[in-house]
Amino acid sequence: MNFLRNLLASIIGTFITLGLILFLLIVVVFAMSEDEEIVVKENTVLEIKLDKTVKDYAPKSDDPFDEIFGTNNKKMGLNEIINAIENAKYDDNIKGISINSLNINAGISQTKEIRNKLAEFKETGKFVNAYADVYDQKGYYLASVADSVFINPVGELAFKGLSSEVLFFKNLQEKTGVKMEVIRHGKYKSAVEPFLENEMSENNREQISSFLKSIWGEMLNDISESRNISVDELNHIADGLLGRNAVLAVENKLVDGALYWDEYEAKLKHLLGISNEDKINSITLKDYISTGKGRVIESGSDKIAVIYAQGEIIYGKGDEEYIGPELIIKAIREAVKLSSTKAIVLRINSPGGSALASELIWREIELAKKELPIVVSMGDMAASGGYYIACNANKIIAEPTTITGSIGVFGVLPNISTLAENIGINAEQVNTNKSASYSLFEPMTNEFKTVTQEGVEFVYTTFVKHVAEGRNMTFDEVDKIAQGRVWSGVEAKEVGLVDELGGLRTAVIEAAGLAGITDYKVRNYPSYKIDFEERFDGFPFASSKEEMMIKEFGEANYKLYQNLKQFSQITGIQARLPFLVEIN
Q: Do 389 and 515 lie in a common domain? A: yes
Give domain status of residue 356, yes or no: yes
Is the pLDDT confidence value at 540 over 50? no
Give domain status of residue 128, yes or no: yes
Catalytic (active-site) positions: 189, 384
Per DSSP, 317 falls in state -
Q: How confident is the model at residue 250 (pLDDT cuts 50, 70, 90)?
A: very high
pTM recorded for the entire structure: 0.83
Q: How confident is the model at residue 354 (pLDDT cuts 50, 70, 90)?
A: very high
Give domain status of residue 137, yes or no: yes
Give domain status of residue 186, yes or no: no
**Are 322 and 485 in contact, with CB atoms under 8 Å apart?**
no
Instruction: Please give the pLDDT value at position 134.
Output: 95
**Are 371 and 336 in contact, with CB atoms under 8 Å apart?**
yes
Tens digits of residue pLDDT in 8-51 = 666 665 667 666 666 666 655 555 444 567 888 999 999 999 98
* Alpha-carbon gap, residue 153 to 131, rounded angstroms: 11
With a CB cutoff of 8 Å and minimum separation 6, the contacts of 95 are 43, 44, 45, 126, 127, 271, 272
- Domain encompassing residue 375: 302-528+572-576
Q: Do 263 and 312 lie in a common domain? A: no
Q: Is 403 helix (H, G, I), strand (E, B) or coil?
A: strand
Q: How confident is the model at residue 542 (pLDDT cuts 50, 70, 90)?
A: very low
Q: Do 361 and 254 lie in a common domain? A: no
Tens digits of residue pLDDT in 276-328 = 999 999 999 999 999 988 887 777 889 999 999 999 999 999 988 899 999 99
Q: Do 327 and 287 lie in a common domain? A: no
What's the angle, vertex CA 212, arms to CA 489 and CA 354, rounded to 5?
Answer: 60
What's the angle, vertex CA 486, arms to CA 113 and CA 368, rounded to 5?
Answer: 70
Residue that terminates a domain, selected from 293, 324, 353: 293
Please state the rounded mean pLDDT for residues 460-485.
95
Give domain status of residue 174, yes or no: no
Q: Do 270 and 317 lie in a common domain? A: no
Q: Do 405 and 279 lie in a common domain? A: no
Q: Do 262 and 315 lie in a common domain? A: no
The domain total for the chain is: 2
Please state the rounded mean pLDDT for residues 79-97.
95
Q: Do 258 and 364 lie in a common domain? A: no
Rg for the chain, CA atoms, rounded? 26
Please state the rounded mean pLDDT for residues 171-196.
79
Q: Domain holding 407: CATH number?
A: 3.90.226.10
Q: Do 310 and 263 lie in a common domain? A: no
Instruction: Please give the pLDDT value at position 20.
Output: 61
Q: Do 332 and 249 lie in a common domain? A: no
Q: Do 256 and 351 lie in a common domain? A: no
Residue that terminates a domain, selected from 274, 293, 312: 293
Give domain status of residue 235, yes or no: no
Q: How confident is the model at residue 187 (pLDDT cuts 50, 70, 90)?
A: low
Give domain status of residue 559, yes or no: no
Give domain status of residue 534, yes or no: no
Most confident of 155-164, 176-185, 389-398: 389-398
Q: Do 284 and 409 lie in a common domain? A: no
Please state the rounded mean pLDDT for residues 113-124.
96
